Structure 1
Amino acid sequence: MTARRLRQLLNARFAGVLLSALSMMLAGCATTPQLADATEASLPMRAEIAGVPFHAQREYQCGPASLAMVLNSQGVDVTVDTLIPQVFIPDREGSVQPEMLATTRRHGLIPYVLNNTFDALLTEIAAGHPVVVMQNLSLPAWPMWHYAVAIGYDLEAREMILHSGEEAERIESFRRFDATWARSDRWAFVALPPGRLPEAIGEFRALDSIASYEQVQGPQAALPAWEAWSAASRRPHGALRTGQYTPWAW
């Protein structure tokens, strides 16, 4: 290992420790997110999705690592190294949201961007859908964007379980996690095969997600998704019509 590379690694580790401390300080000023009564009553007290593979993040590679985890969990055989040139933008030292979604479509899954609520996040985890979440681990004026995969929660302890950075099954309090997630406007998505729908998404948002997938993969590949969407939208209490996630919500 060259001296230059060693300095880069040490600087990255130091920056990570510094930003983690800063994140903890800022989270101390945040409030614990509140779930709707109906959501809290319907969710199991604890949920953790088994079998989601973990890929440790390399420098600036949280996007490819997180995407590989959710793709692998759905049976897509792809490596982090394969995904790096597809989603990583060197000039920005990171991965942007449109590329994360576009790459998911190219690998045969439909990315559904969730309604930006804690209720939607926990509902998807309870349904067995790992969720890619975007966080800002620093100040809004000095952002440090980070992707992680939410795989579990504990309502009693008010804790999240994440595959994040170099740590599998990382435990974070609801308050600390939401303080960093809120700085991305609570951006998150699930990646599902055609024919399966999220539990917590509006009807028209689902329609838009399927239509975008069809543009990439074609009508035949998208047909199971359209059939599932049509069936769900006709059910008065189906996944797309639960009272909390209104059909017109984008």
Structure 2
Amino acid sequence: MHLIENVPFFPQEEYQCGPASLAGVLNYYGLKISPEEIANEIYSKSARGTLTIDMVLFAQKIGMSAKQYSGSLDDIRKNIDNKNPVIVMIDTGIFFVQQYHFMVITGYNEEGIIVNSGKVQNKFMPENNFLNMWEKTKYWMLEIRS
């Protein structure tokens, strides 16, 4: 089991997975900021969520290095091994209904990944389930560094 200890966890409020995920990673790097403070800046009421570009721009605006790209399981593993939690976006929708969701990956093992997601900390997701949902977002991933 490869797990980053002490990644702060903020249970998400309704449609606030972006700010909750961003707050967890930013607090991990020592910034003291709440999901509510982030949501006030980047949450879109009309979209009922947060845009990926706004996640990147917010992190950069407060002085962090942030890059989004189409990632892989190897990218996730390398980041976790280097003690860098990453944010991914998955699509939990069914059929033609899209339901995008941000979560923080904090660990992995041979069978899957460990995430802080929604109201659950250190939740295990089997690799195949994760990949099916991640593929629908073209493997969107956000790396943040101090």
TM-score, normalising length: structure 1: 0.57
State which of 49, 56, 62 in structure 2 corresponds to 1:101.
56
Give the drift of 1:139.
3.0
Flag the structure with higher helix content: 1
Q: Count residues in correspondence.
A: 146
Give the drift of 1:112.
2.1
Identify unmatched segments of 5+ residues in structure 2. Answer: none
Identity %: 26
Aligned to 1:32: none
Residues 114 and 121 of structure 1 are in contact (CA less than 8 Å); yes or no, is this contact kept in structure 2? Answer: no
One-letter identity of the residue aligned with 2:18 = G
CA distance in 2, matches of 1:108, 1:128: 20
Identify unmatched segments of 5+ residues in structure 1. Answer: 1-45, 194-250
Give the drift of 1:57.
0.7
One-letter identity of the residue aligned with 1:70 = V
CA-to-aligned-CA distance 1:206-233 (integer Å, 9 cap, x gap): xxxxxxxxxxxxxxxxxxxxxxxxxxxx
Residues 70 and 138 of structure 2 are in contact (CA less than 8 Å); yes or no, is this contact kept in structure 1? Answer: no
Residues 12 and 118 of structure 2 are in contact (CA less than 8 Å); yes or no, is this contact kept in structure 1? Answer: yes
Q: Secondary structure at the match of 2:46?
A: helix
CA distance in 1, matches of 2:132, 2:30: 32
Aligned to 1:179: 132
CA distance in 2, matches of 1:143, 1:125: 28
Aligned to 1:159: 112
Aligned to 2:39: 84
Q: How does 1:131-146 map to 2 (within 5 A)?
A: 131-139=86-94, 141-146=96-101
CA distance in 2, matches of 1:56, 1:66: 9
Residues 67 and 143 of structure 2 are in contact (CA less than 8 Å); yes or no, is this contact kept in structure 1? Answer: yes
Aligned to 2:83: 128
CA distance in 2, matches of 1:140, 1:85: 32
Give the drift of 1:47.
0.9
CA-to-aligned-CA distance 1:23-51 (integer Å, 9 cap, x gap): xxxxxxxxxxxxxxxxxxxxxxx310011
Q: Secondary structure at the match of 1:184?
A: coil
Aligned to 2:17: 62
CA distance in 1, matches of 2:45, 2:95: 22
One-letter identity of the residue aligned with 1:182 = E
Larger radius of gyration: 1
Poorly superposed stretches of 4+, deviation over 4 Å? none
Residues 87 and 105 of structure 2 are in contact (CA less than 8 Å); yes or no, is this contact kept in structure 1? Answer: yes
Q: How does 1:1-250 map to 2 (within 5 A)?
A: 46-139=1-94, 141-155=96-110, 158-193=111-146
TM-score, normalising length: structure 2: 0.96
**Which fold has the larger relative contact order, with Cα–Cα distance below 8 Å and residues 6 or more apart in sequence?**
2
